[in-house]
Structure 1
Amino acid sequence: MSRLALAALPGSVRAARRHVHDLLRMWELPHLIEAAELVVSELSTNAVKATGLSTDSPSYGELSNGLNAICVSLYVSEPYAVIEVWDSSDEPPRRQDADPDDEGGRGLALVAAFANRWGYRRPETGGKVVWAEIQVR
């Protein structure tokens, strides 16, 4: 199992994607990389939007209440690779029906398309964990 804590900033999505990519290569599961990168990108983006800042260069004023974090986890529990993303928001994830002209709103639909299952839970410590399972074989 691997866990990576990141600042809740847009640039952290790239770091989460790279982390998952590198782990799956190291674990000799390169056939999962494309789907896992997409899933972790969407879940991390949602986590940052739920609790973070909209820029990678926040002002001092924007940081006056502190900087939130997200946490990305990846582990294999046969027959699945499981991606989990924690954020401090209690709001459940909401799948949206995006219009063709909308720039966003397709994230959880993409997760559902690439994962076998997905869902969320609220840990006792607060916030929420959104998870997705991708079949290993």
Structure 2
Amino acid sequence: MRLTTHIDPGLTQAGSASATVRALEISIAADRALVAEVRHSVRAALESWGVGAIADDMAVVASELASNALKHAGGEATVRLRLAEGQALLEVDDSSLRRPVSRRVGAEVEEGRGLFLVQALAADWGWRYRQGGGKTVWASLPAPAECAA
């Protein structure tokens, strides 16, 4: 299967007996058409977890990071979304060692603004190399206070 989704709504966060972690993991093949499925899955998960207020912004962030991973790494990518302790964290793993770089593009260029969107929408974002190769690009958004993750 080219797109797999796994939701664990009742994981317990390490070191905490009471904090619940909700998680979604999506593995996508090197097909940029699957980015729409990632966007839809992230939005649906956040809405089902009671944090629909951030669903649209996080869906855009997921779309941009997944699209960048598939475009620049040229292989499969894994998208992980976690909701815990009032924070939504999205991580995208790919096989590339190239660090993500925001670049300036002219008004006539149709792409190249993904990281600017991520910077504008996310409370924080960054990247790190993964042990064994590749990198993880991540972004976080605070969940609404009324959410009981």
Structure 2 length normalisation: TM-score?
0.78
Helix, strand or coil for the counterpart of 2:45? helix
Equivalence for 1:15: 37
Q: Which runs of 4+ in 1 moved over 6 A?
A: none
Equivalence for 2:60: 38
Query: Which ranges of structure 1 fall in alignment gaps of 5 or more residues?
Result: 53-67
Query: Which ranges of structure 2 fall in alignment gaps of 5 or more residues?
Result: 1-22, 145-149
Aligned with residue 127 of structure 2, among 108, 117, 120 = 120
Helix, strand or coil for the counterpart of 1:43? helix
- Where in structure 2 are the equivalents of 1:1-137 lying within 5 Å? 1-52=23-74, 68-137=75-144
* Contact in 2 for aligned 1:8/1:47 (Cα 8 Å): no
CA RMSD, aligned part only? Answer: 1.1
Higher strand share: 2
Q: Which has the higher contact order (CA 8 A, sep 6+)?
A: 1
One-letter amino acid of the structure 1 residue matched with residue 87 of structure 2: Y
Counterpart-to-counterpart distance in 2, 1:2 and 1:100: 35
Identity, in percent, stands at 35
1:40 deviation in Å? 0.4
Counterpart-to-counterpart distance in 1, 2:132 and 2:41: 24
1:79 deviation in Å? 3.2
